[in-house]
Amino acid sequence: MSVKKFIPNFVTLLNLFCGSIAVIFAVHNNFVVAALFVFLGIFFDFFDGLLARKLKVQSELGVQLDSLADMVTSGLVPGIVMFKLISISVDAPDSMHIDDWSSTTDFYGLRLVPLALIGICITLASAYRLAKFNIDEDQQTYFKGLPTPANTLLIMSLPLIMEFQNNAMFNTLVLNQWFLIALTIVSCFLLNSNIKLFALKFKNFTFKDNPFRYILISISVLLMIGFHFIAIPLIIILYISLSLIKNVTTK
């Protein structure tokens, strides 16, 4: 039996390994290291499919394993991070409090903010999206709704912006529980919407056949150079906007 058929699955397991480590650090409020392992996991997630296609060893096992790995790296981790951010926002001095749900509860020694459980909805929405993706045969050249890795990058960018760019206005926004709850709702909607978003898969590298992909990549590089981590939410908005324009112009 050829060894090469196991190579993509091994890379997928590296994604799962990174996601599992990210969970540990996220639970302990170390969002920077958690983000590092999430980025590594997403990197492996991109290359496992590419390797499978190049080696011509695609399999149903690989498809299912990929979704299971994504469920941890791009489903569980962002849910935990949002749970933690909402918990932190409850204690922020300038945040707007909801009297009943913002109070903390001691649950067998665990300090729990009931309101923060809303953040776990991102994990539930991610699971639902991944399950739909596995049985949808149409999503070969495009995605229906925001892919889980893109949504994870959006959520993980919040603590990174606070840590490395320390913008007072942005910090106040992120530490506002109303903003975080609204972002959670938007995140869950985008994950399971029927909006067609183009995939970054190149059949060839001509600009004529890939104008929106090249525009997205070019502007994204400029945004990252100019705005650093703040560029990540802007890139997600750009991605959705370009996809909507592509859908209209294609029709």
pLDDT at site 33: 96
Please list the ranges in the chain whose pLDDT falls under 70: 1-2, 92-110, 139-140, 251
Token representation of residue 10 = 């091994």
Return d(Cα 115, Cα 177) in angstroms, integer.
9
pLDDT computed for residue 103 by the predictor: 54
Instruction: Return d(Cα 206, Cα 211) in angstroms, integer.
Output: 8
pLDDT of res. 231: 96
Give the C-alpha separation, 10 to 8, whole Å: 5
Residue 235 DSSP SS3: helix
Query: So what's the pLDDT on residue 108?
Result: 52
Residue 100 has a pLDDT of: 43
Report the pLDDT value the prediction gives residue 49, as an integer from 0 to 100.
Answer: 79
Digit-coded pLDDT (tens) for 86-97:
999 987 654 444
Q: Which residues pair with 107 in a beta bridge?
A: 110
Q: Where are the domains of the chain?
A: 3-194, 197-251
The residue behind tokens 């080696």 is: 55
pLDDT for 166: 83
Question: What pLDDT is recorded for position 54?
Answer: 79
pTM: 0.89
Looking at residue 207, its pLDDT comes to 84
Q: Is the dihedral of CA 235, 62, 145, 87 positive or negative?
A: negative
* Parallel/antiparallel/unpaired status of strands 196-198 and 142-144: antiparallel
> CATH number for the 3-194 domain, one of 1.10.10.10, 2.170.8.10, 3.30.70.100, 1.20.120.1760?
1.20.120.1760
**Rounded Cα–Cα distance for residues 223 and 163 (Å):** 19
The C-alpha atoms of residue 72 and residue 69 are separated, in whole angstroms, by: 5
Residue-level pLDDT at 105: 60
Which pLDDT tens digit goes with each residue over 60-90? 888 899 999 999 999 999 999 999 999 999 8
